[in-house]
Amino acid sequence: MVTYFIIAVTALVSWRCFSRPDWMQRLALIPFRVIREREWYRLISHGFVHADTMHLLVNMFTFWSFGVYIEALFERVGFPLWAYPTLYFGGMVAASLYDVVKRRNNPDFVSVGASGAVSAVLFSAIFFDPWSKILLFAVVPVPGIVFGVLYLIYCQYMDKRGKDRINHNAHFYGAVFGFLFPLFFNPSLIHLFLSYF
């Protein structure tokens, strides 16, 4: 239920911001403003706006694909009700912190999208079921753990290249947060993960 609510709100806000660039600018992650103007809300608000329709659709489809599963799984394993929203929004914040520190003096750096939060949800799914298949490039089925390793390597490689306008750091740090998140509630779950190998 939480998954569908987040998707609906994100789609609505993003859609509205497509025709209102001033709104997008107010909600985007701009580390310079986060630090200088103390606009901490941007650590969350940037996840509700997307650069374009394709960005929104890819993020929300991926979130739906893994979010419904993780939301139900968290309930089954006895995590508190607030655990799932904390995973999502915590992933959003964790995905932003590196850039807030690194880009705090760059007034031109702007980042939007829920990719960090979505990566957190995806990597929690990998933690709980590392051998389930995930489609690489939406075509080739590979085990989740293999996808995860390739994803992290790709994020680091693309960040070093720096030739596109994608915030690869957000993907990377959101993913790491999401993978470790279940251990915050129950450190013994590491034995469950290791039992798959």
Residue 124 in contact with residue 185, Cβ under 8 Å? no
Percent pLDDT > 90 in the chain is 85
Which amino acid, one-letter code, is at 20? R
pLDDT for 74 = 96
pLDDT for 164 = 66
CA dihedral 92, 72, 76, 94 (to 10 degrees): 0
C-alpha closest to that of 28 among 52, 14, 49, 55? 49
- The 10s digit of each residue's pLDDT in 126-143 is 999 999 998 776 778 899
- The 10s digit of each residue's pLDDT in 99-121 is 999 999 999 999 999 999 999 99
- 36-52 per-residue burial string, b: 16 or more CB within 10 A, e: under 16: eeebeebbebbbbbbbe
Residue 166's pLDDT band, with cuts at 50, 70 and 90, is confident
Percent pLDDT > 70 in the chain is 97
- The 10s digit of each residue's pLDDT in 43-81 is 999 999 999 999 999 999 999 999 999 999 999 999 999
Domains with residue ranges and CATH for the chain:
2-194 (1.20.1540.10)
Which letter does DSSP use for residue 50 in this model? -
d(CA 28, CA 92): 12
Is 11 or 185 the better-scoring residue by pLDDT? Answer: 11
Residue 144 in contact with residue 133, Cβ under 8 Å? yes
- Tokens matching residue 48: 């509700």
- pTM score > 0.85 for this model? yes
Kind and range of the H or E run holding 142: strand 140-143
Residue 24 burial by CB count (10 A; 0-12/13-18/19+): exposed, middle or buried? Answer: buried
Q: How far apart are the first and last CA of the chain?
A: 33
Residue 59 in contact with residue 50, Cβ under 8 Å? yes
d(CA 146, CA 94): 23
